[in-house]
Structure 1
Amino acid sequence: MSFPVALPSNELFNNDADAIVVITHDINHLGNSTLDEVAAPYIAVDARIAQKTTLLVSEQVPGKRLVIAPTGPVDRDYDDVRRFFEAAKAGVLEAKAAGAVKPLLVVANAPSDSRYENALAVSFLGACQGLWQPLEAREYRGEEIEPISSIYLFSATEQTCQQLTAISAGQYAARDLCGTEPERMAPPRFADYCVELFKDSAVNVEVVADRKTIDEQYPLLSTVARASYAVERHHPRVVKMAYEPEGEVERTLIFVGKGLVYDTGGADLKVGGFMAGMSRDKGGAASVVGFMEAVAKYQPKGVKVIAYLAVVRNSIGSDCFVPDEIIAGREGVRVRIGNTDAEGRLAMGDLLSEAKDLALGEKNPELFTVATLTGHAARAMGPYSAYVENGPARAAKVSRQIADLGDLWADCAEVSRSRREDYDFIQPRTLADDVLSSNNAASAVTARGHQFPMAFLAIVGGLDKHGCNAEQPLPYVHMDIAGSGVEGGDWQHGKPTAATVASLFARYCI
């Protein structure tokens, strides 16, 4: 893992860095006259420098390496700070390939536009995204496959570095958990990672492993886990985490994360190659852990954070659950199974019910579910997270505030509304049940395919009784990161992005 190191503005050349990486939209102005002089002869003869990341060699810069990482245009209406994130990622990988282990990041001539106020911080996070290697790779080949342990940030403040240390640590943990193959991060080992991660930290961890307890308290999760009980190493876990700040609590955040360590689809088996990559279906829980790790590192005042993780494998076998079954959840709501590949909402439902009960006694609570839930979110929103909120959350602009900050931290999202059609869609068809979990078509070809699952979660979690007109309204946001959770939408090979970690931290911790 790489740590940020603040470098004063008068020490650009007086340090032990072994490469300077300049991120800029104008290659003719690199933020320093010496750097401009070094680059000018190359720029004069090679037009490609303005188009792609380039390594220049010069005795005048630390390590003799100058990397110019152009962002491309930044002044159009649709440009955003991800230009710097992506350029820094490419730049630091170029420096690494050249042998650098202590690069120095310089953001030159960032526009004064508020969109780019965090350009340097986001550049560091982009570099970290590029440098991360999977947990199994580090365990197999050794930690030296991540040779860059520190990155100098030119003109950064110590406070900025403290914040970035927390965010990057959280994102690192989220990538580890999401990007790991299904045996290395089977439910018991996922729980073990969390226990070890938060050992001697400000976050307390409790793991529920007893099958009887899970069957009785979380019957919907237990239903998803049924076929996995045939294999002991695949048995489910419920992981509970809590952070209590020093001093008065002003706000309470309660998260439920989907931790499907592998999703075969169950009886509605994924076929035609669509099962590949389903070890990343734990990305929601992974991001929740990442946010908790950022909180543990930064220890913000005034905000209490609680998280419940449904860590389970949706296996195929003689005891797997099937469509048409009716299962009574923790709230007493009778759920008719529409499709066993819509398992994430079942796994989280009873935990959300418990979270709702807890929220009723907390100070200014806000509830969230975070999940790689639907193909529709990826189809409708592309590489952006999809936030679907209930009435109280919409009235308080919960999603809008997180999304607006996410735009400034390269952690972008689109805000969706929950509407009456979503609740109509899951209404029971008989008197034998109270709610339908899903239809039997793929979400990507279902109208409002990423919105109606939030309505289901609200009902099975009991949040439908805590809307705007209730005696105690509870703001609730469902965060679907199926489109944003991995790079390029490649769920089998793309690096996990730790979606939501930076924007949640920016909203509630800074």
Structure 2
Amino acid sequence: MFESVRVSKRGAPDAVIAGVFKPETGRPKPDPQTRALPAGEAIARACDRPECTGAAGSVTETFEGSTRVLIVGLGARSEFKAGSLRSALAGAGRRLASAKASRAAIELAGPLKRAKIDAHAAGVAAGECFGLLSFDTTAFKGAGTTDRPQRPRLSLRSTDAVFEKGVARGLGLAESANLCRRWASTPPNVATPMWMASEARRIARGVETLSVRVLKGAELSKERLTGIATVGRASVNEPCLIRVAYTPARPARGARPAVIVGKTITYDTGGLSLKPTNSMKGMKEDKDGGCAALAAMHAIATVVRPRRPVVCLLAAAENCVSDNAYRPDDVLTFRNGVTVEVTNTDAEGRLVLADALCWACDREKPAFIVDLATLTGGVITALGSTFAGLWCEDDALRARVESAAEASGERVWRLPMHDEYREMMKSPIADLVNSNPNRKAHPIQGAAFLDAFVDRGTPWCHLDIAGVHGVDSDTGPYAANTPTGWGVRLLASLMDQE
């Protein structure tokens, strides 16, 4: 939509964005601060028009001389939060893009003061909105497409310095989220496990606080990373564990690392438990947990810069079919000694995650672990595309993740863990099965399986993002049929608490 978005005061704005709340009765009216803007009288007149209702996300357009003025509906004041701007400003952003506007002033100080909203937090949400709108949905269009839209460059400003500083931070977070979205969109003939490793090295280049190590081939066997090696062995694209480490310039004394784990299945055919044709399309996005984890490291190193070290582990493999593919009935022995009977080769994500969780506990000595995965279709049945499923039995970590979800607008909903679910995953042949065919509590099965690979006493949170990692229609700042980059901003917010 935009080629780039930045904060700049160079040149006079060719557009102004103001906001009004939806009143309980009657017409919306601009507050005194908005009325005092140079375009205040034009805004007041536009508020008298019938199409100007103040409904959340609505846009009413007018002009003050040659300056375009967009009046954004903010919804009911009692329901308004800083994060509401991520969606409320999306319509204005689309209008600016279609009008090829290049310089816009966002003037919301009056409504924010009336609603008692922190200006910096509101600015972050506004910056995220415009940054996410800049995602290029036409990156893989070629010479056969002659009508690719022109994407303007947009600069933003505000007379509220605190809000403007928040906008700059929000744009930085959105840049990281858009990295995730680009990786998620990249087709599997390009985005192989080793391509993901090369992207990790690329973002670390020039960032002194980031380092990358890639374990592949014989090193996977040496480190007993059985799940990654087994799932990926049928593909010509070799599997790997990608370790990305953030080492702060001034680390807090004695701080153990936070560990982020991402399922990075670059394509999932289902293996010998082959997916039906219509279920295989779109499986390039089975790497989206890993894409989010890696992009979060970019945000952590370039925007957040916490004093706690952070380690990211991407369990990367392609689940294919060949004469050496792993089979139902195989029994695998993992790094921590747990044995697993394979009952379904299409439940491969939990096998590669098990390796990363074992490594995290064994080698990283983490303060806590958060993993992200497009793990189950069952979580979509349970929660739709409104919430990601959350499993976390550590009260302190769960509270922090829920707070980060609130701050980032990436919603989570806690689902249960219980010994009866763990019993469901027991095997008559080995310690565990990787999938229980009875389909009961399907999303919880995955969490219950992973629980066996986390050391007792280690705070751990599992996020199943299968329902929230993409959108089917235009939704807030996201265009139809695009990835959302879900989890990048949540993880950045989580580490910002440090």
Q: TM-score under structure 1 normalisation?
A: 0.84
1:422 to partner: Cα distance: 2.0
What are the residue-to-residue correspondences of 1:191-202 with 2, within 5 Å?
A: 191-202=197-208
> Match for 2:217: what amino acid?
R
Q: Does 1:44 align with 2:48?
A: yes
1:54 to partner: Cα distance: 3.4
- Alignment partners' CA distance in 2, 1:419 and 1:6: 53
What are the superposed Cα offsets for residues 481-509 of structure 1, whole Å, 9 maximum, x if unpaired? 11221125999962222222222222322
The 8 Å contact of residues 226 and 332 in structure 2, kept in 1 or not, is answered as yes
Cα distance, 1:192–1:154 mapped onto 2, change above 3 Å: farther
The 8 Å contact of residues 228 and 241 in structure 2, kept in 1 or not, is answered as no
Q: Does 1:212 align with 2:218?
A: yes
The aligned counterpart of 1:452 is 445
What are the residue-to-residue correspondences of 1:11-410 with 2, within 5 Å?
A: 16-26=12-22, 27-29=28-30, 31-33=33-35, 34-47=38-51, 50-51=54-55, 53-54=58-59, 56-60=61-65, 64-76=67-79, 82-107=83-108, 109-110=111-112, 112=115, 118-134=121-137, 136-137=139-140, 146-157=151-162, 160-161=166-167, 163-208=169-214, 210-217=216-223, 218-228=225-235, 231=236, 234-249=237-252, 250-271=255-276, 273-298=278-303, 300-360=305-365, 365-382=367-384, 383-390=386-393, 393-394=394-395, 397-410=396-409
The aligned counterpart of 1:439 is 436
Cα distance, 1:492–1:169 mapped onto 2, change above 3 Å: closer
The 8 Å contact of residues 19 and 65 in structure 1, kept in 2 or not, is answered as yes
Cα distance, 1:135–1:342 mapped onto 2, change above 3 Å: farther
The aligned counterpart of 1:10 is none
Cα distance, 1:420–1:113 mapped onto 2, change above 3 Å: farther
Cα distance, 1:208–1:145 mapped onto 2, change above 3 Å: farther
- Alignment partners' CA distance in 2, 1:127 and 1:159: 14
> Match for 1:163: what amino acid?
R
- Alignment partners' CA distance in 2, 1:106 and 1:182: 43
What are the superposed Cα offsets for residues 335-361 of structure 1, whole Å, 9 maximum, x if unpaired? 11121111111111112111101243x
1:388 to partner: Cα distance: 0.7
- Alignment partners' CA distance in 2, 1:121 and 1:170: 14
- Alignment partners' CA distance in 2, 1:333 and 1:412: 33
The 8 Å contact of residues 238 and 311 in structure 1, kept in 2 or not, is answered as yes
The 8 Å contact of residues 18 and 101 in structure 1, kept in 2 or not, is answered as yes
- Alignment partners' CA distance in 2, 1:302 and 1:406: 21
The secondary structure found in structure 2 opposite 1:424 is helix
The 8 Å contact of residues 372 and 480 in structure 1, kept in 2 or not, is answered as yes
- Alignment partners' CA distance in 2, 1:221 and 1:492: 33
The 8 Å contact of residues 326 and 345 in structure 2, kept in 1 or not, is answered as yes
- Alignment partners' CA distance in 2, 1:29 and 1:98: 24
1:114 to partner: Cα distance: 6.3
The secondary structure found in structure 1 opposite 2:363 is helix
The 8 Å contact of residues 162 and 298 in structure 1, kept in 2 or not, is answered as no
Please provide the CA RMSD for this pair.
3.1
Which residue, 460, 467, 478 being the options, matches 1:483? 467
Cα distance, 1:503–1:492 mapped onto 2, change above 3 Å: closer
The 8 Å contact of residues 81 and 117 in structure 2, kept in 1 or not, is answered as no
The aligned counterpart of 1:418 is 417
1:71 to partner: Cα distance: 3.4
The 8 Å contact of residues 220 and 347 in structure 1, kept in 2 or not, is answered as yes
> Match for 1:380: what amino acid?
A
Cα distance, 1:135–1:437 mapped onto 2, change above 3 Å: farther
The 8 Å contact of residues 20 and 104 in structure 1, kept in 2 or not, is answered as yes
1:2 to partner: Cα distance: 4.2
> Match for 2:420: what amino acid?
E
The 8 Å contact of residues 335 and 434 in structure 1, kept in 2 or not, is answered as yes
What are the superposed Cα offsets for residues 427-483 of structure 1, whole Å, 9 maximum, x if unpaired? 1223xx111111236xxxx33322232221121x2x2xx33xxxxx21111111112
> Match for 1:440: what amino acid?
P
- Alignment partners' CA distance in 1, 2:422 and 2:338: 14
The 8 Å contact of residues 123 and 167 in structure 2, kept in 1 or not, is answered as no
- Alignment partners' CA distance in 1, 2:229 and 2:458: 26
- Alignment partners' CA distance in 2, 1:152 and 1:95: 14
The secondary structure found in structure 1 opposite 2:175 is helix
Cα distance, 1:419–1:35 mapped onto 2, change above 3 Å: farther
> Match for 2:458: what amino acid?
L
1:139 to partner: Cα distance: 8.9
1:299 to partner: Cα distance: 5.5
| % same residue | 21
The 8 Å contact of residues 216 and 241 in structure 2, kept in 1 or not, is answered as no
The secondary structure found in structure 2 opposite 1:169 is helix
What are the superposed Cα offsets for residues 375-399 of structure 1, whole Å, 9 maximum, x if unpaired? 1222222321222113xx23xx212
> Match for 2:75: what amino acid?
G
Structure 1, unpaired ranges of 5+? 8-13, 468-472
- Alignment partners' CA distance in 1, 2:279 and 2:245: 36
The 8 Å contact of residues 100 and 152 in structure 2, kept in 1 or not, is answered as no
- Alignment partners' CA distance in 2, 1:387 and 1:194: 26
The secondary structure found in structure 1 opposite 2:115 is coil
Cα distance, 1:279–1:153 mapped onto 2, change above 3 Å: farther
- Alignment partners' CA distance in 1, 2:274 and 2:344: 10
Cα distance, 1:36–1:49 mapped onto 2, change above 3 Å: farther
Between Structure 1 and Structure 2, how many residues are aligned?
Answer: 474
- Alignment partners' CA distance in 1, 2:370 and 2:277: 33
- Alignment partners' CA distance in 2, 1:203 and 1:196: 13
The aligned counterpart of 1:470 is none
- Alignment partners' CA distance in 2, 1:104 and 1:138: 32
